[in-house]
Structure 1
Amino acid sequence: MDHGAEAVDVRIDDPESLRDAFAGATAAFVMIAPGLIPDSTDYAAYQGRVISAHREALAGLPGLTRVVSLSGWAANYDGASGPVWGLRRLEEALDTLPGLEVTHLRPGWFMENALPMVEEIRITGTAHGLIPADLPLPAIATADIGAVAADLLTGRRAAHTRTLELQGPRDVTLHEVTAAIGRAVGRPDARYVQIDTATMRDGLLAAGFSPHMADGTTTMTCDVAERRIAMTQPRDTETATPTTFEEFLARVIN
Structure 2
Amino acid sequence: MHVVTGATGRVGGATAVALLAAGVRVRVVVRDPARGEPWAVRGAEVAVADLRDRDALRPALTGADGAFVLSPFDLAAVDPLAHAEEVATSVAGAAADAGVPHVVALSSGGADLPAGTGPVIGLHRLEEALRGTGAVVTALRACHFQERVADVLAVAREQGVLPVLAGSADDARPQVATRDVGAIAARALLARPERSEAVDVLGPVVSEREVADVLARVIGRPVEPVVVPEAA
Question: Under TM normalisation by the shorter chain, which class is it?
Answer: 0.7 to 0.9
> Pairwise mapping of residues 1-254 of structure 1 onto structure 2 (< 5 A)?
1=39, 2-33=41-72, 35-38=73-76, 40-59=77-96, 61-62=98-99, 64-98=100-134, 100-131=135-166, 132-155=168-191, 158=193, 162-168=197-203, 170-187=204-221, 189-198=222-231, 200=232
Distance 1:126 1:97, change over 3 A: same
Taking the aligned partners of 1:159 and 1:126, their CA distance within structure 2 comes to 47
Identity %: 33
Q: What TM-score, normalized by structure 2, do the two folds share?
A: 0.75
The runs of 5 or more residues in structure 2 that have no matched partner are: 1-38
Q: What TM-score, normalized by structure 1, do the two folds share?
A: 0.69
Q: What is the identity, as a one-letter code, of the residue corresponding to 2:186?
A: A
Q: Residues 59-79 of structure 1: CA distance to partner in whole angstroms, max 9, x if unpaired?
A: 1524x3211001111314442
Hey, what does 2:4 align to over in structure 1? none
Superposition RMSD in Å: 2.1
Taking the aligned partners of 1:15 and 1:116, their CA distance within structure 2 comes to 31
Contact 1:125 1:190 in 2 (8 A): yes
Using CA pairs under 8 Å that are at least 6 residues apart, name the structure with larger relative contact order, 1 or 2.
1
**Shift, 1:47, TM fit:** 1.6
Taking the aligned partners of 1:161 and 1:10, their CA distance within structure 2 comes to 26
Q: Residues 131-162 of structure 1: CA distance to partner in whole angstroms, max 9, x if unpaired?
A: 2101112101111111111111122x758870
Taking the aligned partners of 1:116 and 1:80, their CA distance within structure 2 comes to 25
SS at match of 1:97: coil
Distance 1:13 1:160, change over 3 A: closer
How many residue pairs get aligned? The number is 192
**More strand by percentage:** 2
Any runs of at least 4 consecutive aligned residues in structure 1 with deviations exceeding 4 A, and if so which?
157-161
Distance 1:130 1:37, change over 3 A: closer
The runs of 5 or more residues in structure 1 that have no matched partner are: 201-254
Taking the aligned partners of 2:107 and 2:159, their CA distance within structure 1 comes to 34
Q: What is the identity, as a one-letter code, of the residue corresponding to 1:190?
A: V
Hey, what does 1:225 align to over in structure 2? none
